[in-house]
Structure 1
Amino acid sequence: MHVNPKQRRRHSAAFKAEVLAACAQPGAAVAAVALAFKLNDNLVHQWRRGRGAPKASSVAAMGASEAPPRFIELTVPTTVSLTPAAPASPPGVMSEMIALEFKRGALGVSVTWPVSAAADCAAWLREVLR
C-alpha cells in the first residue's frame, strides 16, 4: 500500500500580500507572523525576498497601492553646555561627530550625533534597530 505524500499548498497573491503586510508592521517578527498564519517561517522569508511574492500589479489590484517609503531627514536637537574652562570652537568647525548611515528595508537613515552623547546615540540606535 502506497501513501501519497502531502501535496504542496498553493497560496493566492492576496494571502501572500496579507502575510507580507503583517510582517511589515512595526515590531512584527517573521517567525510569529508565520506561526499565526500556520506557515513555515522560511517560506515567509522567501516571500519577503521576492521569491513567490505577489506581482506588483496583483497587489495594486487588491487596493494596497501605497507609495514606496521615501527618505525623511530628521534633525535631532542637541543641548551643549560649555564650561568656562572649555573654549567654544570657532564658527564653521565641527566638533567630533558620530556619523551613521544605514538602510533597513526601503528606509534609508543618515544621522550625525555628537561624540559627547555617544551613550544616547547607542540607546537610540538600539531602539531603531529593534
Structure 2
Amino acid sequence: MHVNTKQRRRHSAAFKAEVLAACAETGASVAAVAMAFKLNDNLVHQWRRGRGAPKAPGVASKVLAQTTPPQFIELTVPTTAPPSPVPPARPPDPTTEMITLEFKRGALGVSVTWPVSAAADCATWLREVLR
C-alpha cells in the first residue's frame, strides 16, 4: 500500500495577494499565473472566489476588490431628434456638361455620371477605383 507522506503547503496572505494581483493583470490567464507560481489552477480559482483568500488588510483587500465581477450600471442616454429626411436627389440638369464613366468586368457593369464642375473629385474617385 502506498502512503502519501507529502504535507499540504500553506501559503501566506502576501503570497496569495501576489498571485491574485498577477491574475488581475490585463490579458493574464489563471492557468498561466498558476503555472508561473507552481500552483494548481483550481487552487488559484478558489482563491479568486474567496475560499482561502488572504485576510490581511491592504494589498490583499485591494486585489480582492479588483477581482469582483463587474456589476450592471444603468446609464441614461440623452435622446436626440431624429435626423431630418434627406431630400431626394434631383436628376442632373441636361444642359450641364457631364463626365460619364462606364466600367464592365464580366457580367457586372457600372455607369457613373459626374458634373464637369466636380472633375477633381471624379479624378480622385477614379484613382481609388482603379487601385
Bin for the TM-score computed over the shorter chain = 0.3 to 0.5
Q: TM-score, normalised by structure 2?
A: 0.46
TM-score computed with the length of structure 1 as normaliser: 0.46
Q: Which has the larger radius of gyration?
A: 2
